[in-house]
Amino acid sequence: MNFWRVNLLYTAWLAAGIGAAPAYAQVTVEAASLMTTPVYLLDGTKQVSQGTGFFFGIKNLNGVIDTVFLVTNYHVVTGHSPGSTLPRQGDRVVFYLHKDQNEPSDVKQVVLPLYSTAGTPLWEQSTEHLDADVILLPLPRAAFEGIAMFVFVDDHTRTDIRIRPTSGATLVGYPYGFSDTTNRLPVWKTGHVASEPQVDFQGKPAFLVDVSAFPGMSGSPVLAVANGVYEDEQGVMRSGHVVRLLGVFSAMPVMRSQTPGQSDISLQLGYVWKAALIADLAKAYRAR
């Protein structure tokens, strides 16, 4: 039995160019909501902090997903920024997998260690961009045994929707842990692209979004969503329902005040590490 099977509704959704679901598929929950999860950092049995993560899969030569990663921020799994020499704050993460698109409250809890017995991190991170606040934690195949799979794949990063400054950018996550806990569904918050998305901001594979985000949303997938008329990459106006994975949300920069007694200033801007970085890390992964 192939435990890495893709849910049929998801397959139809993707095969249609991430467009409108077939008439016979009575989909009531957006697939991206099921691809997103709260991520809890634990130190032993003690919860240390909470962030957001999402699932990203890579396919083998036969087009079958054979590896799935939990994507989140480096600081979500360590408690510190990349490059910090401070001691790690936790040793494992807890997150959830949805079992059925029509029963969102039915989830499977997964607990994964973050380090080997030798203390080596089990996640993947960029060796080229050491300050990239992105990690990919591979999931064991048994995690999806007997349940449906809801994951982003490389195709989601290349859907035909043009992204410009001021284009809408939606974060799917758990601000301060707040969400629909009854149905195990995240919150969608929308802002706008705030820098040139085709240019690496300050030479890093990232761009900015202007959005009201809060602690707990670190690690959220950042999406471009079109419902109705949208512009494609060639400048042609099209219509439909299109979703594109733009990257992973990281942090809100703060301007430090130079005036004694004056508070630091939040610009309400956030970093998004680009989806291409996620896809490249996933493709380069080799099981240890």
Q: Is this model's pTM higher than 0.85 or not?
A: yes
Report how far Cα 217 is from the mean position of its chain's Cα atoms. Answer: 10
Q: What is the arithmetic mean of pLDDT over 252-281?
A: 78
pLDDT, tens digit (0-9, with 9 covering 90-100), for 53-72: 999 999 988 888 989 999 99
> In angstroms, rounded to a whole number, what is the distance separating the alpha carbons of residues 43 and 5?
33
Q: Where are the alpha helices (DSSP H) in 156-215?
A: none
CB 38 within 8 A of CB 174: yes
Task: Return the SS3 of 137.
Answer: strand
Give the tokens for residue 128.
């080229």
Mean pLDDT of 190-199: 96
Q: Is residue 14 classed as helix, strand or coil in its secondary structure? A: helix
pLDDT > 90 in the chain, percent = 75
Number of neighbours of residue 167 by Cβ within 10 angstroms = 19
Q: Name the 3-class secondary structure at 287.
A: coil
Q: Minimum mean pLDDT among 117-126, 187-196, 257-266: which range?
A: 257-266
Within 13 A of 163's CA, how many CA atoms are on the CB side?
29
In the sheet with 65-72, reading across from the earlier edge strand, the strands are 107-113, 92-98, 36-43, 46-59, 65-72, 135-138
**pLDDT at residue 255, as a whole number:** 53
Q: Give the pLDDT confidence of 4-58 residue by residue, as tens digits.
A: 444 434 433 443 444 444 444 454 799 999 999 999 999 999 999 999 999 999 9
Give the Cβ contact number of residue 134 at 10 Å: 25
